[in-house]
Structures are given as C-alpha cells and as structure tokens.
C-alpha cells in the first residue's frame, strides 16, 4: 500500500515538473469523447476528468471528479476526490481518492486507498482486491483471488475464490451472497455478523482487538516485530551504510547546494531554526487545507512528496554541516569525510532512546530552515574585516 501511495505521489510530481504538456489547469474540464481511440499511454489532470473513449495503453488520471466510462486496455491509475470507474479495465486498477466506486469488470487486481469505497455487483475481477479505507461496501460478482481489507466498517457480499483477511475495527458484516472458498481471518472490536446464506468453506479465526493493539495477530506481525527488535541494531547499521552511500552520491551531484546550506546554518543559525519550525508547522496545515478542498488534492500530494524529500535531504545537510564544523579547523576541506563523520555522529545520537530522536528532530529543523535561506540568498559569504599594519620604510629620513 505504501509503495503504491508513494508511486502515485511521485507520478503526480514527475508529470507536473517534466511533462507540463499533459497537465491542464485545475479549473478546466477534461473529456475524452466516446468516438476517440488512444493507442498509447494517456495522461489527464483537471477539475473534472471524464473518459468516454477507448485507451489501449495505461491511463493516469487526476482531479476533483474523475469518471471512467470507456474501455481501458492497460492499467488504470487515478488520484482524486470523487472517482467512478464504470467501464472495463483489462489490467489492474490503482486508485487513491476520497469517495471511490468501481462498477465494471477488471482483468487483474484492484487496489483502493480511499475514504468511502464501493465495489458494485457489476464488478468482476480475475485477481485480488486490496482496500484500505474507512468504509467499504463490497458486492463484486467475483473476486478471482484473495481479499484484504483494512479499515473501520466492511460489508462483504461477494464470492472470493481464495482466503480473506480483514481488519474491521468497528463493524464486519457478511451479506447473503458472501462465499469465501478459503479461510477467513479477521480482527476488530466486534465479531462478524453472518446473514443467512453467507458461507465460509475454510476455518474462521477471530482475534479481538486488545486495547492499544495496532497490529493484527494472524498476520504474524507480532512475531515479525519481536524478531525485528532483536535485529534492530544490525538493521540500523545497515541503514547507516546505505545512508552514507546515498549521501556521497548527493554530495557529488550537488556540492554547491551543500555548501550554501552549511553557510546558512553557520551565519544565521537562529533564522535557520526559526524557518525550520515554520515549515514543520505550516506545511502539514497547508497540505490538509488543500486536501479538504478536494480540488486541491493533486497539489496536496505534490506538497507532501516535496516535504518528504526535503526532510530526507535535511538529514544529509545537517550531517555535512556538523562533520565539516569539526574537521575544517583540523584537517581542512574534506567534504566526503565530513559528511561521513556527521552521519556517524547522528547515527550514534539516534541510538539514545527518546533524547536521540529529539536531538535529531531539532537538528533537522536547522537544515530545513537553512534550505529556505540558501534559496532566498543563493550566495552567503561572510567577509571578515582585514586590518593592515602600516609598513616602516627603511632608509634615511629626508632633510627639510
């Protein structure tokens, strides 16, 4: 789920920055007429997007209201507010949206990340269905493989050719047409309610959610987490090595950027920290405000990705500043070693419970703010005053 969410976000940013010919103003409505056929991949973004024609390639759509009535020959990717997919899709569907309805046949798998999700009885998929959302009303005619749901409320009323895993915190109801060929494993605050006619061929395993429990037991999450805790020091060391490699690559690509940010922290530390606090407080608020307007969901996704990338970059920038501050007076300018030393010191600090996380957070604020200062003032140079002593002129004094 996380990889698909990041993919959709990265897709929005990439298209906006590098393929502006595909991007339309949000106030515009985009329509592909019923008599039009597209034989390649198709990109459309706008306030409203409606696809009535045929797309033989993959379709990438985004907007406040997205409606697909035509035929999609490849994969379908959508992010938007209100999404309706009524036409057939030969391959897979990936949707990130607020109110999502799937109302047509699907050749492969369906992934829905949504608030309110509906899969009608006109839908039949040969693959699996994975949904993460608040509410799901699922009545597909057929689910060819497995079923996964993570959310609050689920109404399941279709045939599933394999096993089903469900996390329904509030309510789980199996309708009269529900037929699960494999086992059913679920967790939540309440047991599932089976209406007359609902059948489960395999076993039914229920684990009641314990207070404070955030991971379902039947996924083996607890076993995995306990193993992860034992291996965490080794994983942290491996992460440090990978982080150092990525840092060296970034330093080689953007040496001037590292230098400017380091100068900004050196010359204006209080302003850097202040700007970092402002960004940390305002950016999430702006993202939420754009998302609430529905029309601004694409913008909120782009801001979310940009903020995440800036947060990652700040880790390397503050490490470079710390390492350079220590090494420069003693060994001179050695940027690669300075970055390595800074990353290693931050890694050691991060091993301290609670305090390490707080220190790393504060240091990141400095780097985030310094990025803004470096952008606003591309060249930051502190010129120290130079005092020249008067030279004595040797020789005899002149006679007057």
Query: Rounded to whole angstroms, how far apart are CA atoms 290 and 301?
Result: 9
Q: Supply 334's token pair.
A: 């050695």
Q: At 308, list the tokens.
A: 């995440």
Q: How wide is the angle at C-alpha 52 spanned by C-alphas 27 and 84, nearest 5°?
A: 70
Structure confidence at residue 367 (pLDDT): 87
The per-residue pLDDT for 296 is: 65
Mean pLDDT of the 167-188 span: 90
Q: Taking residues 51-69, what's their average pLDDT? A: 92
DSSP letter (8 states) at residue 354:
T
* pLDDT of 386 over the 60 cut: no
Residues 6+ apart with CB under 8 A from 223: none
pLDDT of residue 210: 65
| Residue 86 near residue 105, CB atoms below 8 Å | no
Question: Helix H segments across the chain?
Answer: 2-18, 221-253, 255-267, 269-292, 297-331, 335-350, 355-376
pLDDT at 170: 86
137-to-72, 290, 342, 350 alpha-carbon distances in Å: 24, 27, 51, 44
pLDDT digits (tens, 9 = 90+) for 248-283: 888 888 888 888 888 888 888 888 888 888 888 888
Whether the pLDDT of residue 235 is over 50: the answer is: yes
* DSSP summary character for residue 23: B
pTM, entire model = 0.56
- % of residues, the chain, pLDDT over 70: 79
pLDDT band of 118, cuts 50, 70, 90: very high
């Amino acid at each position: 789920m996380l990889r698909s969410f990041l993919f959709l976000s990265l897709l929005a940013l990439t298209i906006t920055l590098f393929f502006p010919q595909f991007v339309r103003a949000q106030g515009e409505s985009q329509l592909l007429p019923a008599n039009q056929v597209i034989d390649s991949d198709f990109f459309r973004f706008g306030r409203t997007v409606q696809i009535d024609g045929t797309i033989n390639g993959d379709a990438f759509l985004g907007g406040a209201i997205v409606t697909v009535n035509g035929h999609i020959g490849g994969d379908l990717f959508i992010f938007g507010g209100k999404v309706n997919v009524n036409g057939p899709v030969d391959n897979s569907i990936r949707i990130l949206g607020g109110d999502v309805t799937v109302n047509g046949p699907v050749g492969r798998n369906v992934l829905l990340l949504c608030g309110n999700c509906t899969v009608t009885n006109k839908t039949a998929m040969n693959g699996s269905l994975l949904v993460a959302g608040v509410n799901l009303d699922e009545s597909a005619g057929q689910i060819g493989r497995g079923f996964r749901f993570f959310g609050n409320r689920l109404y399941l009323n279709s045939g599933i050719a394999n096993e089903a895993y469900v996390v329904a915190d509030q309510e789980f109801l199996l309708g009269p047409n529900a037929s699960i060929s494999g086992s059913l494993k679920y967790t939540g605050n309440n047991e599932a309610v089976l209406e007359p006619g609902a059948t489960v061929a395999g076993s039914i395993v229920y684990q009641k959610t314990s207070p404070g429990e955030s991971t379902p037991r039947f996924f083996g999450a607890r076993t995995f987490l306990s193993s992860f805790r034992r291996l965490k020091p080794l994983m942290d060391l491996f992460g440090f090595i990978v982080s150092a490699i990525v840092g060296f690559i970034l330093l080689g690509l953007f040496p001037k950027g590292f230098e400017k940010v380091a100068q900004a922290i050196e010359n204006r530390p209080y302003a850097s920290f202040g700007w970092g606090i402002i960004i940390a407080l305002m950016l999430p608020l702006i993202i939420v405000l754009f998302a609430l307007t529905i029309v601004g969901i694409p913008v909120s996704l782009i801001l979310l990705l940009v903020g995440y990338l800036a947060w990652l970059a700040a880790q390397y920038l503050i490490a470079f500043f710390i390492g350079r501050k220590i090494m420069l007076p003693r060994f001179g300018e050695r940027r690669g070693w300075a970055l390595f030393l800074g990353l290693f010191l931050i890694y050691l600090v991060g091993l301290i419970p609670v305090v390490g996380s707080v220190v790393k957070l504060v240091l990141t604020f400095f780097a985030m703010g310094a990025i803004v200062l470096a952008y606003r003032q591309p060249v930051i140079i502190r010129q120290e005053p130079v005092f020249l002593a008067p030279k004595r002129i040797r020789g005899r004094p002149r006679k007057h």
